[in-house]
A and B are shown apart, each in its own frame.
Chain A
């Protein structure tokens, strides 16, 4: 698969930004700096980055509880994201949403979401809005194999097919949903096969291969924008960490816990030739990405917590 050096550099840098964000978040969480709980997407970088790099600013995404990568890859600011994880006033949610509710509407990020399956319904609504307002854009609705078993996944795909909406349903099948493996949640080998039930294309891609993901979403998004209707993309990926940070992962064998990080989209990209980028360029992009995230976390850690008056703000419009 050929790729321009510009795109290769962008994909590589973004994958390192996602990786660094999750590693630093995990570290800060372990140290007790982040309240609540967080769900990390380590191992899934190629999905978020490959998919979002295929989108333009006017395209929209809806995301999940494991949404840091999607938000970053679609252009959300890592400092404002970290500020939300640190529960600061300056965060995207003013410290009232947390890790599961990061949005940057100006960048087309309609929000991570704490309810499994709602990313599909909200995504269908955003696509309906684009269609009715005659906007030449599309929506990518991220979800996991766990959400594939919810009623709303069926409702959303059925409506999107009936209305021929400009939407790409992007399933990150990361081998686990919550604390149980794929087979507990999904009745078929390939979730993409379910697209046939709705009469739109279903595609399975290697979720370790950022170029394959990028190509699949590029095609599906072009079809969606051209009024060709929805596509279901299933990316086979792997969740390095537990469902949440601190999850002892008793459902994984010791051997799997030891070798799980062998599934590595960044190494894979390097092995593929990284679009012809030389080693020193790659090292520079990595260092730049890691520094950006490190600075973001340090900046966020020092911000103000929300004042008591923030409890009642933004409950209603116009108040």
Chain B
């Protein structure tokens, strides 16, 4: 075990997988000699060379399409998109190509591709650099989507995602880039895609939280404990495929469900998670489930406004208390 930062877990996963398999290449803006905008690729260019660590022009549609073409022809590309918002610039190669080629071409090709990007708010980056699109991509058959919240989850899910034969989107939280945590060594670090984790056990309510909201939910649980409310916090870690079984078994114990995420509420992951529980276990619920999400507005720049915009430990605790009072 070692204690490392969230972004260092990404670097480590990339380094280990590139050393393990020469078909793994890294592409993206400034991933090469500069070492990345958050120092997340530092040293890889020097270690693996310009062929395998390739700086691209600012052309997300073009270089993601190129990564798909490379994945169809013997490589296992890893692609960096600096900000999650820029996924809107490469929807076509992700949604129309990567997700569907295996299916459309009768299983003749695979697209073993991992794309990672930094999303979410909390750093006053404004409406075009703060978004969370997990629900958009969880809606697309053929893609897998992971949302690691700790260095161990970054390391384990990125390594497993690179080895996966499907296109995998890894949606990282940029607010967590400098956070620290323990990570296992070697192959022990691998985490299977599609498995949720109970981050804190509890008896009274299940709080399902994603990305940097996991930390907020754990702090909310501490606040709730002062009110003698024992909250269980579950992090799905993968949103497609979603580990409904773990969430359902938590709700079996608690009878209450609150979902917290940074993406917007309407047609969001909360709607999906709550529906999945209701369809299978409505009688388990002692109270109507609830969602804690930003309001249906773009993410504002002003620090005072953004702190009101994002869910907080206090707003999560308040929502849960409301549920228990009902």
Residues on the A chain within 8 Å of B109, using CB: 103, 105, 110-111
A272 within 8 A of B: no
By the criterion CB–CB under 8 Å, are A121 and B106 in contact? Answer: no
By the criterion CB–CB under 8 Å, are A93 and B104 in contact? Answer: yes
Given contacts A121-B61, A132-B51, contact A111 B101 (CB under 8 A): yes
CB distance from A251 to the nearest CB of B (A): 27
Stretch of B10-18, B71-79, B255-263, B265-273 with 4 or more beta carbons under 8 angstroms from chain A:
B71-79
A65 within 8 A of B: no
Given contacts A110-B69, A121-B65, A124-B69, contact A105 B102 (CB under 8 A): no
Cα of A264 to Cα of B198 in the assembled complex, Å: 69
Nearest B residue to A105, CB-CB: B108
Cα of A121 to Cα of B73 in the assembled complex, Å: 13
Residues on the B chain within 8 Å of A149, using CB: none
| CB < 8 Å neighbour of A159 from B62, B77, B97 | B62
Interface centre among B69, B77, B112 (most CB of A within 10 A): B69
By the criterion CB–CB under 8 Å, are A124 and B66 in contact? Answer: yes
Residues on the A chain within 8 Å of B186, using CB: none
B interface residues, tally (CB under 8 Å):
44
By the criterion CB–CB under 8 Å, are B62 and A129 in contact? Answer: no
By the criterion CB–CB under 8 Å, are B104 and A156 in contact? Answer: no
| CB < 8 Å neighbour of B56 from A97, A126, A133, A159 | A159
Residues 210 to 233 of chain A near chain B (Cβ within 8 Å): none
Residues on the A chain within 8 Å of B142, using CB: 315-316
Residues on the B chain within 8 Å of A313, using CB: 103, 107
B19 within 8 A of A: no
CB distance from B182 to the nearest CB of A (A): 30
CB distance from B154 to the nearest CB of A (A): 23
Cα of A96 to Cα of B67 in the assembled complex, Å: 24
Cα of A131 to Cα of B25 in the assembled complex, Å: 12
Residues on the B chain within 8 Å of A163, using CB: 54
By the criterion CB–CB under 8 Å, are B73 and A129 in contact? Answer: yes
Interface centre among B25, B56, B70 (most CB of A within 10 A): B70
A interface residues, tally (CB under 8 Å):
46
By the criterion CB–CB under 8 Å, are B69 and A129 in contact? Answer: yes
Residues on the B chain within 8 Å of A123, using CB: 69
B288 within 8 A of A: no
By the criterion CB–CB under 8 Å, are A125 and B165 in contact? Answer: no
B59 within 8 A of A: yes
Residues on the B chain within 8 Å of A54, using CB: none
Cα of A105 to Cα of B73 in the assembled complex, Å: 9
By the criterion CB–CB under 8 Å, are A122 and B97 in contact? Answer: yes
Interface digits, A94-124 against B, CB 8 Å rule (1 contact, 0 not)?
A: 1011000101110000110111001011111
By the criterion CB–CB under 8 Å, are A122 and B105 in contact? Answer: no
Residues on the A chain within 8 Å of B51, using CB: 131-132
Interface digits, B46-88 against A, CB 8 Å rule (1 contact, 0 not)?
A: 0000011010110101111111111111110100000000000
By the criterion CB–CB under 8 Å, are B97 and A118 in contact? Answer: yes
Nearest A residue to B141, CB-CB: A315
Cα of A298 to Cα of B42 in the assembled complex, Å: 60
| CB < 8 Å neighbour of A91 from B52, B102, B106, B144 | B106
Cα of A53 to Cα of B63 in the assembled complex, Å: 29
CB distance from B190 to the nearest CB of A (A): 16
A6 within 8 A of B: no
CB distance from B138 to the nearest CB of A (A): 14
Cα of A96 to Cα of B110 in the assembled complex, Å: 16
Cα of A158 to Cα of B63 in the assembled complex, Å: 11
CB distance from A118 to the nearest CB of B (A): 6
CB distance from A156 to the nearest CB of B (A): 5
Cα of A163 to Cα of B55 in the assembled complex, Å: 10
Residues 73 to 103 of chain A near chain B (Cβ within 8 Å): 91-94, 96-97, 101, 103
Residues on the A chain within 8 Å of B96, using CB: 114-115, 118
A-B contact pairs, 7 of them (CB 8 A): A92-B108, A94-B106, A105-B105, A110-B72, A118-B65, A129-B75, A314-B106
Other A-B pairs, 6, CB within 8 Å; known A115-B96, A129-B75: A93-B105, A118-B65, A118-B97, A121-B61, A122-B97, A125-B73
Closest 3 CB pairs of A and B: A125-B69, A121-B65, A155-B62
